[in-house]
Amino acid sequence: MNGATSFSSPLCTWLVAACMSVTCAKDTSTAPHAFPSSSTSRRRRKAAAASATTAAASLSIRNKCAASASASSGGLLSSGGSSSNTSLVSSLCGSSLQGFMSSCLAFEPCSHYYASNGLFSSTSVPNRKHRRLLSRAHSGKVMAVAVQPTKEVAKKKPVTKQRRVVVTGMGVETPLGHDPEVFYNNLLEGVSGITQIEAFDCAQFPTRIAGEIKSYTTDGWVAPKLSKRMDKFMLYMLTAGKKALADGGITDDVMEELDKNRCGVLIGSAMGGMKVFNDAIEALRVSYRKMNPFCVPFATTNMGSAMLAMDLGWMGPNYSISTACATSNFCILNAANHIIRGEADLMLCGGSDAAIIPIGLGGFVACKALSQRNSDPTKASRPWDMNRDGFVMGEGAGVLLLEELEHAKERGATVYAEFLGGSFTCDAYHMTEPRPDGFGVILCIENALAQAGVSKEDVNYINAHATSTPAGDLKEYQALMHCFGQNPDLRINSTKSMIGHLLGAAGAVEAVATVQAIRTGWIHPNVNLENPDEGVDTNVLAGPKKERLDIKAALSNSFGFGGHNSSIIFAPYK
């Protein structure tokens, strides 16, 4: 017989109540009182009588149940029935509740119970409170309440060690190359990817330069039919994502072995499919019949991640985040959190944008945010330099393959670096301007350090957001000095000085640069830093040439319109 089933039966509930009533009545009647009143004595006598009636009724029903159980079990209790009943009576009347419960486990409710109207009649219930209790007992709810906490405690999850997250693959599409090695080597050599815009005629614009990708192909990565229909931000995302898989050693054979339910994609975009949407508007001027039927799905920021997941068959977490130029860092940190929480083992994460089209260029020109140094494009992006006049638009994608450490070890993956943690905050101040006191950035950095378990002294490399805008560069620098100014080994650089600002893709491409700095032991220079801004200490800023640095922990910042702040931290894997 199933003891657990017997234990949860309504009959046992009533027997527990009966036993407790007898015990309580006995204890109450023998407890000394200095001033007993006559009314109190009467109540005690009534309660004692009711309890005695209850106990008798319990025993009577119990004996009938025992007899029924003996008959139905084919004589299992025939020879020892008397001793069994005697044991039950002893447990009911004794002081040991444990003995009573053990005896109770031996029986199921019998036909006498089901044929009756209940163990307690209305005449034996002294008050309403007991009637409510008994009405719940008839439905079995009292026992459910009694045993549930015990079951919950038994199922409490054991304390487990936090899962570690590592970088095992990287993919990029940038103005300086389509491979992480080529891209970073160009950065180390101080090569600039900022040139005159060639994708369209921009003679009417005051800004005619950008970090434009000149040569790009989807051959071998994306089906030709999709290549003709998709927006470039999606194509950059798909190719960079697949390159990250290839770089991480995820071959076709390895892919077959993966649990695809635990593999996810979280790649965002700040601007989405601007060209697809703009082309749809132009077609609508003629007729809605001329519109691309894919204009809506291919313009949304989430569709790149969705299409990549469909292509790979990955059924884990899949979505995108759009927080302007902080998009990539938000995606990377959230992807890592999915792995830490045990919701995934692998995550492709990062960002992609392709906004170098007339409406994109015109929009940022209208904001008065762009540099107009058209005659010397390679000198246009100059973070922390006194002669900076705005940022330079860029385009591309960056994707990291994040993986749970033990999972990476099991498949023999190469670990490039470890992701330690990060943080987000909001300035809650202005759509495009940073807080004057820099508190939002400071709070973000300090929270990231706390979440990653890293001390300020251990951070000796920072890939700054530093877009080459007058206000943004200085406010970030001041926040960094507030947090790390006492670290004599600190070095800071800006990848945007050579590729421009890749908007939603910036954080991911700069995360690749950060991981490459950890891998190679070299940090790239700050180009165009000829006249540092007042109050900027050049001793902490990287110079015009690459520098050797043994990185302990590296921080990468990204900030976006709307006051979005994000900081993520990487370190060498040990």
Residues with a catalytic annotation lie at: 325, 465, 501
Distance in angstroms (rounded) separating the CA atoms of residues 435 and 423:
18
Cα angle 164, 170, 174 (rounded to 5 degrees) comes to 140
Closest C-alpha among 112, 87, 111, 113 to residue 100: 87
State the pairing for strand pair 263-268/346-353: parallel
> Cβ of 63: how many Cβ atoms within 10 Å?
15
Q: Which residues contact 294 (CB under 8 A, 6 or more apart)?
A: 229, 276
Residue positions counted in the chain: 574
Contact between 528 and 381 (Cβ < 8 Å): yes
Contact between 467 and 391 (Cβ < 8 Å): yes
Helix (H, G, I), strand (E, B) or coil at 420: strand
DSSP assigned state of 155? T
State CA 131 to chain mean position distance.
50
Around 80, how many Cα atoms within 13 Å sit in the side-chain half-sphere? Answer: 6
Contact between 401 and 168 (Cβ < 8 Å): yes
Distance in angstroms (rounded) separating the CA atoms of residues 337 and 163:
10
Contact between 165 and 418 (Cβ < 8 Å): yes
Q: Which residues contact 422 (CB under 8 A, 6 or more apart)?
A: 329, 332, 333, 336, 448, 451, 452, 566, 567, 568, 569
> What are the angstrom distances between the C-alpha of 323 and each of 152, 379, 393, 493, 563?
41, 28, 17, 23, 9
Strands (E), 354-502: 396-404, 417-426, 459-463, 491-493
